[in-house]
Each structure stands twice: as structure tokens, then as C-alpha cells.
Amino acid sequence: MGAAGGLAAASGTVFAAGEYEDDKRPTKKDEKEYPADEPTVPNAAVRVAHFSPDAPNVDVFVDGAQVLSDVAYGDVSPYLEIEPGTYTVTITAAGDPGTVAFEGDVEFGSAFYTVAAIGELGAGTFRPEVLVDAGSALVRLFHASPDAPAVDVYADDAPLFENVEFGESTDYVAVPAGSYTLSVRPAGDPETTVAAFDVDLELDTAYTANAIGYLEPPAETEGREFTVEITVDGVLGDDEE
């Protein structure tokens, strides 16, 4: 388990696409066709997730160029195709480039990545975590709920992940395709269910179960209660449903 620190980035000439009004489509000089049933990595592909429950909407800059704007809590951007390399990434409050929550250099190789902003601004624990995504029939858990204890996750009544702490990401595990009820429970306490939800897992698809929000939301954070957001991994923006 575990994840390396850092933040997803794209070069100054490549921009996010799809979910935000001001975003622009990446320009590709040499368009390639990839078989629909093969999870091929085109150079590198990165997406950004806002899972910091007390942080405002944010803007993301790469090498000084804005690539995402007004990203709200719980949002996950489409994957961005980038060249492998090292980039300087800055996260600021939306519309306020002088209020910097994070700035640093991040290196990416040829892979799919999810970069999640987690922790709390008020507690000084805001930070990005980089997850290397899969492109196959796998499931993993990412614990991004700052006031939740270590957790176990059950698929129906069978243990799936155990003792996952805040900021940790499990390895992917193979799960047969089908419908499940996933339940989140305090580590070592199989009788107490914190949250439960139904999921449909499809063949040849990789998922991350992102545990986000507060068990006990502080004042002015209504609507940010503990929940689990499911993301599909290893799929570029145009193909992601």
C-alpha cells in the first residue's frame, strides 16, 4: 500500500479537456488509433481529483500555464495526455492565483496517473497524492477521508481490503465482474458499517473506490459527508463514461 507524493501535470501547451468551461482540447500532431479493447498508454495520461473537503474550488497551473479552472470538491478531471517528464505544478484558490495551496515539481513516466488533492487546508495537511492507475479488471481503495480511522472494506460479506489508513492506496486486486454491495467498516470491527453502496463491476475495467468527506462534517462543510466515489481507471477522456 501507499502512494507517492506530488501532483499531476501537463506541459504548457497541453490543456485539460471535457468537464470545465475554460478547458481546451490537447493538440496532437500525430494522432494514433488504439484498439478499443486494449488499454494502451499514449506517452503518459494524468487526471486530477479534488478530495480535500475543506478546500475551496481550485485552479491548476503547470509550468505557469493554467490547465484546469474552478475544480470543485469531489470533481475528477478527464485524463490529460502528456509527454513523460518533470513539471512544476501549482494549485491555487479558484480565481485567486496569489493564494497557493501547493507548488512543486513532479515527474511522470509512461503510465496512467490519478493525482488527488487530500487533507485539510485548516489543519495544514492539504497535500497531493499520486496513484498509478491500471487498465485491466481490477479494484483498489484510496482512503482520503481526513477524520475517518483506518478502515476495512467488504464486498458483500467477504473482506476485500483491510486496515487502510488515511492517505493510503491499496494495490489493485482482481474481482470477478458482477454486482456487489461494498461496505466500509472501522478496521477490525466487522459489526459496524460506516457506509454501504451498490456497485456494478464490468469485465476488463479497473476501478478505484475513493473514500472522501467527513464522518463528522465541521461547520460550513454541509454536503461533504463521508462517501465513496467510484472512478474508472486507465481510460482517456473521450472514452470514459
Angstrom distances, CA of residue 151 to CA of 88, 170, 185, 224: 34, 12, 5, 19
Residue 27 reports pLDDT greater than 80: no
The confidence score (pLDDT) of residue 171 equals 93
In the chain, what percentage of residues exceed pLDDT 90?
53
Indicate the burial class of 75 (C-beta count within 10 angstroms; 0-12, 13-18, 19 or more).
middle
The chain-wide mean pLDDT, for the chain, equals 80
**pLDDT at 55 (0 to 100):** 95
pLDDT of residue 208: 96
Given a cut of 70, whether residue 108 has pLDDT beyond it is: yes
- The end-to-end CA distance of the chain, in Å, is 28
Confidence category of residue 45, pLDDT binned at 50, 70, 90:
confident
User: Does the structure show a pLDDT above 70 at 192?
Assistant: yes
The confidence band for 238, taking pLDDT boundaries of 50, 70 and 90, is low
Cα–Cα distance for residue pair 105/86, rounded to 1 Å: 6
User: How far apart (Å, rounded) are the C-alpha atoms in residues 233 and 26?
Assistant: 20
For residue 36, pLDDT beyond 90? no
Strand order, beta sheet including 127-132: 4-5, 127-132, 112-118, 44-50, 80-82
> What are the sequence ranges of the domains in the chain?
4-239
Residue with the larger pLDDT of the pair 42 and 16: 42
- pLDDT 10s digits, 50-88: 999 999 999 999 889 998 999 999 999 998 888 888 888
Looking at the chain, the number of H-run helices and the number of E-run strands are 0, 17
Query: Can you give the pTM of this predicted structure?
Result: 0.66
